[in-house]
Structure 1
Amino acid sequence: MIQAQPMPPSLLSRATAAALACLAAALAAACLAGAVDAAVSCQRRCGDIDIPFPFGIGGQPGCSMAGFELSCNDTAGSGADARPTLLLRGVEVLSISLPLGQVRMKMDMSYDCYNTTRHEIDCVDRVDLNLKGTPFTFSDAANKFIVFGCRMLAYLGPGEQNDIGSDLTIGCAATCGVGDDLVAINSAGCSGIGCCQTNIPRGIQYYKVWFDGRYNTTGIYNWSRCTYAALVEASSFSFSEVYHALSRVNSNLGSQPPFVVDWAIGNMTCEEAQRNGDSYACVSGDSVCLDSRNGPGYICNCRSGFQGNPYINDSHGCQDINECEDTSKYPCYGKCINKVGGFDCLCPAGTRGNPYIGTCRKDIPLPTGIAIGLAAGFGILLLGLSVTFLIRKQRSDIQKQLRKKYFRKNQGLLLQQLISSDERARDSTKIFSIEELKEATNNFDPARVLGSGGHGIVYKGILSDQRVVAIKKPNIIREEEISQFINEVAILSQINHCNIVKLFGCCLETEVPLLVYDFVPNGSLNHIIHADTSNKEFSLSWDDCLRIATEAAGALYYLHSAASVSVLHPDVKSSNILLDANYTAKVADFGASRLIPNDQTHVFTNIQGTYGYLDPEYYHTGNLNEKSDVYSFGVVLLEMLLRKQPIFDCEDGTKKNLSIYFLSEIKGKPVTKIVAPEVLEEASEDEINIVASIAQACLRLQGEERPTMKQVDMSLQSIRNKSLSPDIASPESNYEMHPPLPGRYVEQQFLGVDINGGVANLPYSNCHSLEEEFMLSASFAR
């Protein structure tokens, strides 16, 4: 008998190690083989539906994530309709979208129909899908809750019918009438007539329909027997298709419109999941994580330029797309070069352009391109210059024609004849072109505006000979006023007096004629005597006031009798007596003036002038004569004495006429009690009494009782010469001082001025700035 010998320890240890190594290698090979087998054995298709990971068929270990198990019914249907059906919790799956994180499904609609045999309502709820505790949620963005029928209120939610109004989630009501064309009414979507639709809130995981038993088709079953309700995918919903499938809401066969559920991985956000690397599902190298918009969790997508399954990290994971192989989706009209995550599209050699939109063109040799560019540029430049020249020429021709039209319309030929017929006017008066006045005013620069009123604007201008002028530009002039304008030019062109504003000329080439005057910088007498007494800058001494009054009276006397032609100025007022740099008086505004033939003493006209200054006799008769100017000048004297406007506000807020106030007050008071304090401080009592007497004489109701402007001028000169004679006229005058006038005269003054009726709208002047006074003829109505 042979006895076995024990193995040496060293050999035993080597044998043991070798045996263990062989065993480990065998186990590893077995495990790898098992893993490959498992991967190969995962079912990734059921009928026509792909099953991408994390979804998988239940019972196949490692083929799906927890909660994403599906089932595939290979025996669904019968006969020709037999086909495999993919199911999620017993509901048919139509498709699975990894990028959207959605599953499209379908199942029968719930219905509520009147049973004509049993004469009662059959309520069949074919929907009871509870997704609580799963990764799935009914999509609020893709679905609508739809109710079909003509008398029904249906609800969606986990409650019972007796929970209506408390535990149910949403409701929708539909109604209609006999003969309603429901297809036409709901062609653009459910309108509430025969079909009602409403959104569902986020986070719903329970789908069950409840019909409100208080509403049914018992009374309308002969034309609308059934009502239906379902959760429906909004993008694929068609009322007409479902309506006809339901036999015009008279069939209980039902319909299976699709609906959508959202799904997500886990309950963490992307940021939280990425920190927990072991459970993070976006394992593909070119994947990105997106937070779920319908509840907790996240989904994974491939980065732009990649496609595949972001949940696996192998050849089926996110792979670069070769965009050059799919020109319909990635158009390239040149040479396409694929790159990781995108592609480049280049024009073929010898061409340039944008190959992404198909505009590659052949290259042009550099010299040829330069020549073509220069030629094209020169051609465009020449064309532009030609067009500009033609447009300017056309505009110039139009402007010339327009200027000729305005010149004729403004009676330019007549004015030329009037000026040329008078030697003095021909030498001193000019008809300016519009271009000359544009140059003088820097194209009527707003910075050159001296003043503006309701009727026009006055600009300061500098003529080519460096004369400073004021250019009056009315806003508008009526056809009947053109003759007045020509009249003003004609009169001023014949007048040469140091106390009358100098007219240099006019422009008739614009729609509204322009007048060019000598520039008078210190405003008007009205502005000075009615300025705030505390403002010394605008104050005049009593001697200055007497001088200005004397100068103005001399100018009016010159107009009445000493000029070559007798001129009446029916708008004498303090605002038409301007003051030059030396505060010398300049009578202005001859727009309403009239020439008086030598054989006449008056002329009949429409009433023109300014209330407060208007001669009562002229107001009533329309007969304008030199005594009308005398009356107005008397009001100016009162303004200087009393420092009140011709129509002024009383303490009680009423309006009063200055001349009536004066004639009334002097009946019971001495003149010194009613004149302005500043006048009383500077003037002697004799001077005040004589000026008041002159004013009183000028304001007599009957024109024939008033003095002439010659007598007024001489009387004022006598005051300045300290010849304090009580007689207001020269020795040849028959006009003497009168005692204060009787009350009846004062009463009759109301006949001359509508003091009570229209004083609120009287156009009397107000204070103006120094250079605004050339606007007075434009800013006061006549």
Structure 2
Amino acid sequence: MKKKYGKFRRTTDPENAGKVLVSDAASNGNGNGNGHGGANNFNALNSPSSGDNSERFLLEGGSVTIPMEVLRQVTNNFSEANILGRGGFGVVYAGELHDGTKTAVKRMECSAMGNKGMNEFQAEIAVLTKVRHRHLVALLGYCVNGNERLLVYEYMPQGNLGQHLFEYGELGYSPLTWKQRVSIALDVARGVEYLHSLAQQSFIHRDLKPSNILLGDDMRAKVADFGLVKNAPDGKYSVETRLAGTFGYLAPEYAATGRVTTKVDVYAFGVVLMEMITGRKALDDSLPDERSHLVTWFRRILINKENIPKAIDQTLEADEETLESIHRVAELAGHCTAREPQQRPDMGHAVNVLGPLVEKWKPSCQEEEESFGIDVNNMSLPQALQRWQQNEGTSTSMFHGDFSYSQTQSSIPPKPSGFPNTFDSADGR
């Protein structure tokens, strides 16, 4: 007989009206049931004793607290055989819930996390209970157990993009085709565009890189790891914050001043595009200094576009059509990594550039119709109508003009003639 892990019931607490409580069947029923632990209240998350609460809340965004007993069972008591990976704050385990849902369980200890880790734990829950998109990894639930903190995500069986680009031989993967790479790039662009401008609240990811891009069996991509996410400032203003992220992907103005806008994600996306084109890492100390920093080296390549074929990942079969597509993506990567943030496109423009390239390989039985990043499942009808109206009569063509690149490592040239001061979604829609 299958064991029941818990039951759902409505709360009578006025502060939590509309939420659903989960009673832990394994508890003794002496929990305080005080209603703390919602998406915007982390008192329970910070309290070591909160792991003993018998009352668990289904968060407004759909994520639910899951008893530790359940997580022990689904991960085979956190068996070594279930380990998917290790990070700075803990270990990720594969698990399968009693309803067949496959999960990835990130297990962390407070002593190892410190304040930084605890802040990231809270940020993950706060963000992922507010956003839902098919190209963002979903948070299924979390657990607070004594001094342990656990996050439960949907399982992405094909690992991360970095493994497929840089470790495919050791892991037994086939090298990614260009068709797969450009499709992954479009998925990522759509996910980040949603974070920046289509969600109810605007967010900046701050740590976009291949290891945070996860892949499903169909090789569709989802952006993961929202521990460093910041609320995006209104308008064109930047927000000052503690420097965080990964060297090689940090936008110059962010590294220099600690101030961020959505354009820091655009820069990181451009670096990822370069990695997908070349098969090289953003930083590679094994190479000579003049080639170790991918952005600097690749932007030199772009000065003379005839050099681009020499920079392409040798595992790619670059026929004429593929080479044309690579040139388009290389040009986009150059725009995204412009030194001045106002010269970088927004993610809506990236979606417009990549969309037609993927369309060439689009199967006839494509999933729900998408129009250059307009995801009607993730916005209200008025929002969708507004986006469609913006599209009517606009061009989806890409920039074909010459783009001047500096040959120095430390500078990027001024705006080329005819190049816009800034990019907005309307430029490419």
Instruction: Give the TM-score taking structure 2 as reference length.
Output: 0.70
Partner in structure 1 of residue 309 of structure 2: 672
- Looking at structure 1, the residues matched to 146 and 404 of structure 2 have their Cα atoms a distance apart, in angstroms, of 53
Partner in structure 1 of residue 345 of structure 2: 707
Partner in structure 2 of residue 466 of structure 1: 100
Quote how far apart the aligned CAs of 1:555 are: 0.6
Quote how far apart the aligned CAs of 1:742 are: 2.7
Counterpart of 2:292 in 1: which secondary structure?
strand
Partner in structure 2 of residue 743 of structure 1: 407
Unpaired runs of 5+ residues, structure 1, are: 1-395, 724-728, 750-782
State yes or no: 1:553 paired with 2:189.
yes
Partner in structure 2 of residue 482 of structure 1: 118
Paired residues for 1:18-167 under 5 Å:
none
When residues 521 and 570 of structure 1 are mapped into structure 2, their CA distance, relative to the original with a 3 A threshold, is same
Residue deviations 1:678-706 (CA, integer Å, cap 9, x gap): 33535533212111100000010000000
Partner in structure 2 of residue 754 of structure 1: none
Quote how far apart the aligned CAs of 1:426 are: 2.1
- Looking at structure 1, the residues matched to 254 and 397 of structure 2 have their Cα atoms a distance apart, in angstroms, of 24
Q: Which has the higher strand share?
A: 1
Is contact 2:252-2:339 (8 Å) kept?
Answer: yes
Partner in structure 2 of residue 604 of structure 1: 240
Partner in structure 2 of residue 562 of structure 1: 198
Q: Which amino acid aligns with 1:539?
A: P
Unpaired runs of 5+ residues, structure 2, are: 1-26, 362-390, 413-429
Number of aligned residue pairs: give it: 339
- Looking at structure 2, the residues matched to 455 and 480 of structure 1 have their Cα atoms a distance apart, in angstroms, of 10
Is contact 1:411-1:486 (8 Å) kept?
Answer: no
When residues 498 and 634 of structure 1 are mapped into structure 2, their CA distance, relative to the original with a 3 A threshold, is same
Is contact 1:502-1:517 (8 Å) kept?
Answer: yes
- Looking at structure 1, the residues matched to 162 and 229 of structure 2 have their Cα atoms a distance apart, in angstroms, of 20
Partner in structure 2 of residue 222 of structure 1: none
When residues 655 and 714 of structure 1 are mapped into structure 2, their CA distance, relative to the original with a 3 A threshold, is closer
Q: Which amino acid aligns with 2:252?
A: P
- Looking at structure 2, the residues matched to 735 and 411 of structure 1 have their Cα atoms a distance apart, in angstroms, of 53
Quote how far apart the aligned CAs of 1:597 are: 5.2
Partner in structure 1 of residue 264 of structure 2: 628
Is contact 2:178-2:322 (8 Å) kept?
Answer: no
Paired residues for 1:513-532 under 5 Å:
513-532=149-168
Q: Which amino acid aligns with 1:448?
A: N
Partner in structure 2 of residue 586 of structure 1: 222
Residue deviations 1:401-428 (CA, integer Å, cap 9, x gap): 9xx99973626999x9xx98xx9x5262
Q: Which amino acid aligns with 1:477?
A: M
Counterpart of 1:478 in 2: which secondary structure?
helix
Given the alignment, which residue of 447, 450, 463 partners 2:84? Answer: 450
Partner in structure 2 of residue 319 of structure 1: none
Residue deviations 1:551-585 (CA, integer Å, cap 9, x gap): 11011111111111111100001111100121110
Partner in structure 1 of residue 180 of structure 2: 544
Quote how far apart the aligned CAs of 1:630 are: 0.3
Quote how far apart the aligned CAs of 1:738 are: 3.7
Q: Which has the higher helix share?
A: 2
State yes or no: 1:437 paired with 2:63.
no
When residues 581 and 490 of structure 1 are mapped into structure 2, their CA distance, relative to the original with a 3 A threshold, is same
- Looking at structure 1, the residues matched to 76 and 178 of structure 2 have their Cα atoms a distance apart, in angstroms, of 40
- Looking at structure 2, the residues matched to 680 and 735 of structure 1 have their Cα atoms a distance apart, in angstroms, of 25
State yes or no: 1:617 paired with 2:253.
yes
- Looking at structure 2, the residues matched to 551 and 615 of structure 1 have their Cα atoms a distance apart, in angstroms, of 22
Residue deviations 1:680-737 (CA, integer Å, cap 9, x gap): 53553321211110000001000000000000011000222359xxxxx963899774
- Looking at structure 1, the residues matched to 235 and 264 of structure 2 have their Cα atoms a distance apart, in angstroms, of 18
- Looking at structure 2, the residues matched to 526 and 691 of structure 1 have their Cα atoms a distance apart, in angstroms, of 18
Given the alignment, which residue of 41, 44, 54 partners 1:408? Answer: 44
When residues 541 and 748 of structure 1 are mapped into structure 2, their CA distance, relative to the original with a 3 A threshold, is same
Partner in structure 1 of residue 11 of structure 2: none
Q: Which amino acid aligns with 1:530?
A: F
Is contact 2:352-2:396 (8 Å) kept?
Answer: no
Is contact 1:705-1:735 (8 Å) kept?
Answer: no
- Looking at structure 2, the residues matched to 487 and 673 of structure 1 have their Cα atoms a distance apart, in angstroms, of 42
When residues 676 and 441 of structure 1 are mapped into structure 2, their CA distance, relative to the original with a 3 A threshold, is closer
- Looking at structure 1, the residues matched to 349 and 290 of structure 2 have their Cα atoms a distance apart, in angstroms, of 36
State yes or no: 1:718 paired with 2:356.
yes
State yes or no: 1:497 paired with 2:161.
no
Quote how far apart the aligned CAs of 1:660 are: 0.6
- Looking at structure 1, the residues matched to 222 and 115 of structure 2 have their Cα atoms a distance apart, in angstroms, of 29
Is contact 2:302-2:334 (8 Å) kept?
Answer: no
Counterpart of 1:458 in 2: which secondary structure?
strand
When residues 736 and 598 of structure 1 are mapped into structure 2, their CA distance, relative to the original with a 3 A threshold, is farther
- Looking at structure 2, the residues matched to 587 and 648 of structure 1 have their Cα atoms a distance apart, in angstroms, of 23
Instruction: Give the TM-score taking structure 1 as reference length.
Output: 0.40
- Looking at structure 2, the residues matched to 743 and 426 of structure 1 have their Cα atoms a distance apart, in angstroms, of 51
Q: Which amino acid aligns with 2:345?
A: P
Q: Which amino acid aligns with 1:609?
A: G
Give the structure, 1 or 2, with the largest relative contact order (CA under 8 Å, sep 6 or more).
2
Counterpart of 1:552 in 2: which secondary structure?
helix
When residues 444 and 678 of structure 1 are mapped into structure 2, their CA distance, relative to the original with a 3 A threshold, is closer
Of residues 510-519 and 647-656 in structure 1, the stretch that sits farther from structure 2 once superposed is 647-656
Quote how far apart the aligned CAs of 1:445 are: 2.5
RMSD: 3.5
State yes or no: 1:697 paired with 2:335.
yes
